[in-house]
Structure 1
């Protein structure tokens, strides 16, 4: 019995020593953590100097008017719909007038308006050059160009599609496509082949209707 008692005392002593070692290790860890925090506070103080809380202010913060929402998604949807609506398969020849310039005018636009367009009666208010563009890129670019010009009340435009000198067979690939696309745009009321100084067979002069719905009375612009 005495031997067993000594063994129990030995195990108890070992357990106490282990507990003391763990407690000492925890105290050392906490001391190291306090020292680390103190070093950080001292570093902050030495870097920025002494600080003190700001006094509460009774001034009201200025209110900012939020910007008006822009229908971005609706605009993107409208542009996508316009691009899809422009077809390469429209029989534009039935719409074009049978003259050398393959002119086009809506039924409610007089021949006199078309004659003025051929003669350069109106100043060019915007120009688009489609040289080097692929079909889809040219169609989208032309669609955006016409839409923005109409929004800004620009009436007379020049669209350069090229004469085809750099195309296979030296044929103007975009010319017939541009005519088809323009004839399908509701903003376009007439177009004609440009005169020599304005690009000749490589360009079209396009007349847009006014935003108030008047089609045949574009105001003459000073040159």
Structure 2
């Protein structure tokens, strides 16, 4: 594969970034240890007769808590390929919908929590969360940015399996498909 020449602008940018990097510490190669020097055996002393103590069992160490993976758009862990494709394309039936337009961040946050908890409790699998695309074209909407973060909060994360942008007929990038976990 032929490489294209690097422009002066790219070279200057790389040098700027490279100056901020800190090198990793190098590991020292361990030198071979000298063989142990032979010592004369210690004289054996008479041991007092005592009952031997039972061997101590190693204390079990608890494994670190398993933290669920971070959810992001289109990342579907824990579902098969076919179901993931149906989910991404909006082919899974939508069983509930919430429109967060016109709400403050706090209201939207609280309403989303209640909506997802109720939908999960009633056994729904796929819901649509409408966030809107935002007021200005240069900056994405506050709710559009925050809803994915809220879906990763522990109180919601325990109910959510995956989420992705909706298809255009359901709101496109101004809405999210949310796949809920099965009720146990």
What is the TM-score with the length of structure 2 in the denominator?
Answer: 0.56
Query: 1:119–1:195: 8 Å Cα contact kept in structure 2?
Result: yes
* Structure 2 gaps, min length 5: 1-68
Q: Which structure features the higher share of helix residues?
A: 1
Partner residue of 2:57?
none
Tell me whether 1:162 sits opposite 2:162 in the alignment.
no
C-alpha distance 95-127 of structure 1, shift in aligned 2 (>3 A): closer
Task: Report if aligned partners of 2:120, 2:182 keep a CA contact under 8 Å in 1.
Answer: yes
Greater Rg over alpha carbons, structure: 1
After superposition, residues 69-148 of structure 1 pair within 5 angstroms as 95-96=71-72, 102-105=73-76, 107-148=77-118
TM (normalized to structure 1)? Answer: 0.47
Change (3 A) 1:135 1:189: same
Are 1:179 and 2:148 matched, yes or no?
Answer: yes
- What number of residue pairs does the alignment pair up? 113
Contact 2:129 2:175 in 1 (8 A): yes
Once residues 126 and 95 of structure 1 are traced to their aligned partners in structure 2, the CA distance between those partners, rounded to angstroms, is 20
The root-mean-square deviation of aligned C-alpha atoms, in Å, is: 2.0
**Residue pair 2:71, 2:162 contacting (<8 A) in 1 also:** no
Moved segments of 4+, more than 3 Å: 167-170
